[in-house]
Every structure is written in C-alpha cells, then in structure tokens.
Structure 1
Amino acid sequence: MKPRHRRMAAIAAGLAVLGTAVALVLNAFNRNLVFFYSPSQVAAQEAPAARTFRLGGLVERGSVQRRDLTVHFRVTDTARTIAVRYEGILPDLFKEGKGVVAQGRLGADGVFVAQEVLAKHDENYMPPEAAQALQEARK
C-alpha cells in the first residue's frame, strides 16, 4: 500500500470515529433535554407523551392532599389545570397559590407523575417560562 493510500485510510478512519463520537454526544444530549410546558399546553396535547418534561404554574388553592409521602395537587396557569402526583418530600417553600415547577411524565390517566418538584425561593422570583405561561393564559 502506498503512503498516500495509508494516509487516506487513516483520515477516513479518523472521520468515522469523530462522526460516531458526535452522534453519541448528540443522542445523549437529546435524551437529557427537558422542555417546559404550561397546563394549557399540556391540555392542548403539545407536551410529549413518552418523554420527561417540566410543568409549571401555580399550585391551585385547596388542591393539596397528603397521604404519607404521596402528595396530590393541581397546577394551574389560570386557564387550565393539571393534576399532579408526587412521592417524596416537598420543598419547604411549597404552598398553595405559589409558583411551582414539576419535572416528570404525563401518565395514561392524564395525571402528571412528578419525579422532582421545585418551589419558588422568594416573593419576587418565578421561573421565566412559568411567568410567561401565566401571562399568555391571562390574555
């Protein structure tokens, strides 16, 4: 084999390895990408059914029901409401009428099964996506 052919084979092998590495990185990134949806978007079936996503809005007043570590509550954007089930300890700042972002999946029964619940951390903070979803729902 001529040196020129060996060099071309090495370049082709290097490009194949680089292409495979890029494909694996992009695949992992796509699997871990989590999008934010409001209750109105979830009700309109814009949220993915088989993927994890974030649901944000306000905890509806009078909707929190606790049984041991299982908590049922509803998240609203003032236009639509989605039922949420979470098993675990809620953040200290979790309260009715306050902002919340829950990460999980939508169950077959239409209940959002949260794996993680985040509450706003002070009086002035709300995730930008949740604030925008609430403003759009009010319009």
Structure 2
Amino acid sequence: MVIGELLDIAEVAERSGLAPSALRFYERRGLIAPAGRNGLRRAYEPDVLGRLTFIACARGAGFTIAEIARFLRATPEDTELRARLATKARELEEDIARLTRMHASLRHAATCTHEPLVDCPDFKREFERP
C-alpha cells in the first residue's frame, strides 16, 4: 500500500521480491531505514527500492552484509575500503571473462553437430584461453 509518498513494508517486499523479515534484517544491519510508520507498519521512501537493488547486486558479487553496510557509509577518505573495492573490481573482471567464455561455448554447443559436443574444437577453444 502506498502511504502518501511512502511505501509500506508490504509494498516494498512485493516490489523488491524480499520477505518483510529480510527488510527488517537489513534495517537492523543499517542498510536501509524506514521513513516512518503507518500504525504498526514500517513505511519507506520510494528510493529504498534502488538501494535494495544495489544491495542484491552487491550480495551477488560476493560482498558481505558488513561490507555493504560499510560501503553505504563510506567517505572518499576510507582508503582501506577503496582498496577492497579495487580488488573486488579486478575479481569481477576475471569472473566476467570466465563467464563470457562459458557463454560463448554454450551458445556454440546449442547448435553444434560435433559428437560428443565437448570434444568440438570450437567449444574447447574457449577454454584454452587464460
């Protein structure tokens, strides 16, 4: 339910795909904050949905809840965090390269007539690259 400009916890849960308990957990960890209450229900600014998308992306990239909370509070002077972010960016680049190779191989295998598929020279070529 939309409350004025605010979204209640049920609406945020529905739109984000998260359970209300996950939203309360994120609140306890300082990742999100309600803007107020409508009776007993928490209410959030609509921009919480963008923050939840960021949190989901960061979790998918391997960041812990504590790391995400720290990042959300970070200032440009936080050199330790910036170093961690640079390291994580390099790790993601490696993951992207690996997944791109796998993607190309699977797309090829989907139409390849070689028997067996995994012995196809075009399929194997993607895995011979570093």
| TM-score when normalising by structure 1 | 0.25
- Give 1 or 2: higher strand fraction: 1
- Give 1 or 2: higher helix fraction: 2
